[in-house]
Amino acid sequence: MSATAAPATADQAGKPKEAKKNRLSGGFFRFVLTRFLLIIPTVFILVTVVFFVMRATGDPISAALGGRLTPQELQARIHAAGYDKPLIVQYFEYLGNLLHGDLGTTMTDNQPVVSILARYGSATFELAFLALIVALVVGIGLGRVAARRRDHAADAGIRTFAILCYATPVFFLGLILKLIFAIWLNALPASGRSSLATEMQFSRLVSPTGFYIIDALQLGDMNVLADVLRHAVLPALALGLLTAGVFIRLVRTNVISTFNSGYVEAARSRGVSEKRLLNKHAWRPALIPIITVMGMQIAMMLAGAVLTETTFEWKGLGFMLSQYLKARDFVAVQGIVILIAIIVAVVNFIVDVIAALIDPRVRY
């Protein structure tokens, strides 16, 4: 009889665990679906705001070409583009075109905005990726050291470094890096994404990706790869250190907070080493706010790319945005800003999902 009861008991014990697992899985997928659907109103609001702000100073053709055309020619261009229609009619037409992937045509060089995004977007993504690596390596590494050496000289030095990174304007930091490494030491290039010889090598590629690191690997030429990386060092440092300053302070604060929690004190009383306490007990709970803030920092990084790319003549979306702003080409500006907004919304969605995987409490 006992032998018969044992499997029943095991089945009963297993059912609550299975039900709990299914309930958690259902809650997680509901959370993911909700966060994904929130991308739609977020992007819609941003598109609407950008559209009406861009039109606040008048129609794009008058802004871009006013003074260069006769009044008759200007009026003809405005009528052909439909900018003499009521603003609300223009808005709904723009939304309709947007749903079909049509972002319009630039006023200054008569190019489809989609082709501008495709041509220069890869440069911005490559710079943002490299800058994020710098921010994570420097920010997390020094933040952990500062937490372990709390109130020591190393902690004070790292906190001062973090404040300087965060407070220094990215364009000024870029100029300082260029002055030191490009002019005084003559160790790194001052501008551009690659040398002229490398650009000629890339022209041989049948299907270039626009990501110079990937294209260099396609060529299989280590000299080309080295040239691309040398050009990327200073822009990635300038943009990455700005975000690293935030990560240092955030990692330090959260690791110290978890170090003082009850379960860590209990582990310490059992003789667990400080290194193990940091790596096994305090680090994972401290990750949650760091990952959450990372989404906002990536958004700031994309905003900082405008100044960074202009400083280093890194021809990406930020550089082109500054050029189109000077030319008052609102159609191009609008397309670039919308793409950046979509990227930020998607990145924040991914960050929320990662945070929910680490800490189930985020889902509720």
Q: Which residue has the tokens 């405008």?
A: 306
d(CA 245, CA 48): 33
Helix, strand, coil percentages for the chain (3-state, nearest 5):
80, 0, 20
What phi-psi label fits residue 199: left (phi over 0), alpha (psi between -120 and 50 degrees) or beta? Answer: alpha
- Tell me how many degrees the CA angle 22-26-32 measures, rounded to the nearest 5: 145
pLDDT in tens, the chain (364 residues): 444 444 444 444 444 444 444 445 667 788 888 888 888 888 888 888 888 887 776 777 776 666 677 778 778 877 777 777 888 988 888 888 888 888 888 877 888 888 888 888 889 889 988 998 999 899 988 988 888 888 889 889 999 999 998 888 888 999 999 999 999 998 999 888 999 889 888 888 888 888 999 999 988 889 999 999 999 999 999 999 988 988 898 888 888 877 766 666 676 677 766 667 666 666 767 777 777 777 677 777 777 777 888 889 898 888 888 888 887 788 888 888 888 888 888 888 887 787 777 766 655 5
d(CA 49, CA 33): 25
3-state secondary structure of 105: strand
d(CA 77, CA 207): 37
pLDDT of residue 66: 62
Domains, the chain, ordered by start: 113-358 (1.10.3720.10)
